[in-house]
């Protein structure tokens, strides 16, 4: 069934069966829902990815009580319980069986709604499943709940954690021994100011983390839209910037006496002087899409060339910035990627690696021309990428599939392994392999809240 046919069926089907006396044609707007605010989302059962042969759970909210919903894809009714009826609060839940032979990809689903009539569409994503491969050695250590990012510097690792939504009251900055992964020191962020309405502000919870050449640890306080600086030796607070300094900061990376912080969803990278701890002029980014704004997500700095690579989450682009001049030098579209969030770079082949959360893939792009050389399926929801120069591999934290995937610059999957629940961030180790931090699916999750050192077996 075409989308147009489905829409007509959803709007007019009831009226056809209850024609007004004397009417020759159906009124296509009879009984149309006014001010409809329904929303739908599809997930796998128990927070698993949707894959071929699995069962998807479709949930709806914002419907009118008693509305009937039938899901169709290419004319076929999907929900076994059809129609499903919204409850007294306008919510519903139904299950959809995914065929064994379904190819990975995004499938448009039409929701035909009655009483009153409406129609809407949403995408149901079927993710690829990669078999375990390669020979990996994994050493793990359980840390605190809510692990977010990891950085290296001064013969130590630094890991951030933050639990829950605002007001966040549980957060830590930890210093680890890179060999044993044992905690050497830890700090709890100071209290954040209460909101203007008097609500508890929680603490200046720490998320992104980076280390400058002086050994200072820079963290992003995403909930308060700011950053802070800690001493690498004992994690004592050096400076807490005021709330509002950087809108929704994500990553913090240091290079040549400066620290660069991404403002998520903004076309801006904020710049700080690592010595004076003062903010400098920001770097402005532009989108190649007409009328659109670049929306920064993750970034990577190639120290040898002084080039920063950053991806746009909303416009699916990757930009390069010459840090010596602070000027953007190129912006390339990533048409095969949706919700592009992670980025890595291989200086040897001059190739950029990007992760598309909604397309379950890594794109390998020629940094000189912007040409996409390889499109590599890696599993559900790849999030971050780190390039391992010792092994010439891009390692990918695939959050939805609870896995770690290693990809060569030629687009070959060299290794894949389960790494624990929701791998969130990773960095390359100087002597090869990566350090990965992952989150938890609950208090009883034995694989959650770990840092892992992963290397290729000889």
pLDDT confidence band for 20 (50 / 70 / 90): very low
Q: Could you give the 3-state DSSP secondary structure of residue 367?
A: coil
CA distance 440 to 360: 21
Q: What is the mean pLDDT of residues 4-29?
A: 34
CA distance 440 to 448: 4
Question: Partners of 455 in the beta sheet?
Answer: 137
On the 0-12 / 13-18 / 19+ scale of CB atoms within 10 A, 188 is middle
Question: Partners of 382 in the beta sheet?
Answer: 398
At residue 48, φ and ψ (nearest 5 deg) are -85, 160
Q: How much of the chain, in percent, has pLDDT values that exceed 70?
A: 92
For 153-185, write each residue's pLDDT tens digit.
989 999 999 999 999 999 999 999 999 999 999
Query: 321 and 267 in contact (C-beta within 8 Å)?
Result: no
Task: Report pLDDT for 30.
Answer: 53
CA distance 426 to 395: 8
Query: 57 and 93 in contact (C-beta within 8 Å)?
Result: yes
pLDDT confidence band for 443 (50 / 70 / 90): confident
Pick from 172-181, 188-197, 321-330, 381-390: least confident:
188-197
pLDDT at 22 over 50: no
Lookup: tokens for 179: 């060999």
pLDDT confidence band for 47 (50 / 70 / 90): confident
pLDDT at 6 over 50: no
CA distance 63 to 92: 8
Question: Partners of 170 in the beta sheet?
Answer: 163
Q: Could you give the 3-state DSSP secondary structure of residue 281?
A: coil
Q: How much of the chain, in percent, has pLDDT values that exceed 90?
A: 88
CA distance 443 to 449: 10
Query: Which DSSP helix (H) or strand (E) runs through 315?
Result: none
Q: How many C-beta atoms lie closer than 10 Å to residue 17's C-beta? A: 8
On the 0-12 / 13-18 / 19+ scale of CB atoms within 10 A, 277 is middle
Task: Report pLDDT for 32.
Answer: 64
Task: Report pLDDT for 35.
Answer: 66
Pick from 69-83, 158-172, 294-308, 408-422: least confident:
69-83
Query: 173 and 151 in contact (C-beta within 8 Å)?
Result: no
Task: Give the CA dihedral 16, 18, 20, 24, nearest 10 degrees.
Answer: 30
pLDDT at 2 over 70: no
Lookup: tokens for 457: 């077996």
Q: Look up tokens 């006496």; give the residue.
A: 257
Pick from 34-48, 246-260, 381-395: least confident:
34-48
pLDDT confidence band for 80 (50 / 70 / 90): confident
pLDDT confidence band for 36 (50 / 70 / 90): confident
pLDDT at 365 over 80: yes
Task: Report pLDDT for 28.
Answer: 52
CA distance 241 to 44: 41
Query: 304 and 389 in contact (C-beta within 8 Å)?
Result: no
- Report the chain's mean pLDDT, rounded to a whole number: 92
Give the distance between the most distant pair of CA atoms in the chain: 86
Task: Report pLDDT for 148.
Answer: 98
pLDDT confidence band for 195 (50 / 70 / 90): confident
């Amino acid at each position: 069934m075409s989308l147009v046919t489905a829409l007509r069926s959803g709007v007019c089907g009831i009226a056809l069966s209850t024609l007004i006396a004397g009417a020759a044609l159906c009124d296509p707007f009879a009984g149309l829902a006014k001010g409809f605010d329904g929303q739908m989302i599809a997930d796998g059962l128990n927070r698993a990815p949707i894959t071929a042969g699995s069962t998807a759970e479709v949930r709806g909210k914002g419907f009118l009580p008693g509305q009937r919903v039938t899901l169709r894809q290419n004319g076929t009714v999907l929900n076994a319980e059809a129609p499903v009826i919204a409850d007294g609060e306008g919510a519903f839940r139904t299950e959809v069986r995914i065929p064994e032979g379904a190819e990975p990809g995004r499938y448009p689903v039409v929701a035909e709604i009655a009483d009153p009539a409406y129609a809407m569409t949403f995408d149901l994503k079927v993710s690829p499943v990669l078999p375990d491969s390669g020979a990996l050695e994994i050493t793990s250590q359980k840390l605190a709940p809510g692990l977010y990012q990891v950085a290296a510097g001064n013969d130590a690792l630094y890991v951030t954690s933050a639990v829950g939504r605002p007001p966040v009251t549980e957060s830590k900055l930890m210093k680890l021994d890179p060999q044993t992964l044992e905690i050497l020191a830890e700090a709890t962020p100071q209290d954040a100011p209460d909101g203007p309405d008097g609500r508890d502000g929680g603490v200046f919870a720490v998320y992104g983390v980076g280390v400058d050449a002086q050994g200072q640890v820079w963290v992003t306080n995403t909930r308060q839209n700011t950053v802070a600086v800690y001493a690498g030796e004992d994690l004592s607070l050096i400076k807490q910037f005021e709330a509002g300094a950087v809108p929704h900061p994500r990553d913090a990376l240091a290079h040549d006496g400066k620290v660069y912080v991404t403002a998520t969803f903004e076309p801006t990278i904020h710049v700080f002087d690592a010595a004076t701890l003062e903010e400098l002029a920001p770097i402005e980014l532009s989108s190649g899409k007409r009328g659109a704004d670049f929306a920064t997500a993750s970034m990577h700095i190639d120290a040898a060339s002084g080039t920063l690579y950053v991806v746009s989450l909303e416009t699916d682009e990757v930009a390069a910035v010459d840090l010596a001049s602070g000027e953007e030098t190129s912006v390339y579209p990533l048409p095969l990627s949706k919700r592009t969030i992670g980025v890595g770079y291989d200086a040897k082949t001059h190739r950029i690696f990007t992760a598309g959360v909604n397309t379950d893939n890594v794109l390998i792009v020629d940094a000189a021309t912007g040409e996409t050389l390889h499109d590599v399926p890696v599993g559900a929801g790849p999030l971050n990428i780190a390039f391992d120069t010792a092994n010439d591999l891009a390692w990918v934290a695939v959050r939805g599939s609870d896995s770690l995937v290693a990809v060569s610059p030629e687009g070959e999957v060299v290794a894949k392994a389960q790494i624990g629940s929701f791998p969130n961030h990773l960095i390359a180790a100087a002597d090869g392999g990566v350090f990965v931090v992952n989150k938890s699916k609950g208090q009883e999750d034995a694989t959650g809240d770990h840092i892992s050192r992963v290397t290729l077996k000889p």
